[in-house]
A and B are shown apart, each in its own frame.
Chain A
Amino acid sequence: GAVVSQHPSRVICKSGTSVKIECRSLDFQATTMFWYRQFPKQSLMLMATSNEGSKATYEQGVEKDKFLINHASLTLSTLTVTSAHPEDSSFYICSVPPASLGGYTFGSGTRLTVV
């Protein structure tokens, strides 16, 4: 099945700095990837759709200037949390849709802590 690699798995950063999270599809090409966020003890909420070669589309309420998404190649999408604040501390996880009906594959997630 599809394999998605996400890193870093954990990152701690200072308030005001930026953090980049990478999501790679290892054995297939993904023109689309999805980014989700999970706050502690809550469910996953879709943040944005990353589209290879074009602009990402963001869900309502997600600040596009704060969460920069770049899908520069068919195997790599990056999420950059800019000017991070403690309220951005969360679990960020990417996924790719299946080529056909089936389960969506998720990366292992990144736990971001902003101090």
Chain B
Amino acid sequence: AQTVTQSQPEMSVQEAETVTLSCTYDTSESDYYLFWYKQPPSRQMILVIRQEAYKQQNATENRFSVNFQKAAKSFSLKISDSQLGDAAMYFCAYRSAQNYGGSQGNLIFGKGTKLSVKP
């Protein structure tokens, strides 16, 4: 079974600084997808960034980028120029690319990292 581990329960960053959130995962599959979701106090899960395992190039979305190390099974999120609105819980998630019995594939989440942004 696949597992996702986020080893940092809480992180703090100064506004305008850069912070990196860590995520490791375990899988025997070669094709899969990885995601970072943000959950602000409103509790709605918002997609931050996604990475296809077959792509070597790291995904980037504005101030958010990932460092995807497939061999090491590591998928960290870097937030540049941190803003007060970035304060939230961040979840790393894994999704298989296999279509088992017609399933679209569920997300397997890590426990999350609570990010605080100091003004």
A in complex with B = no
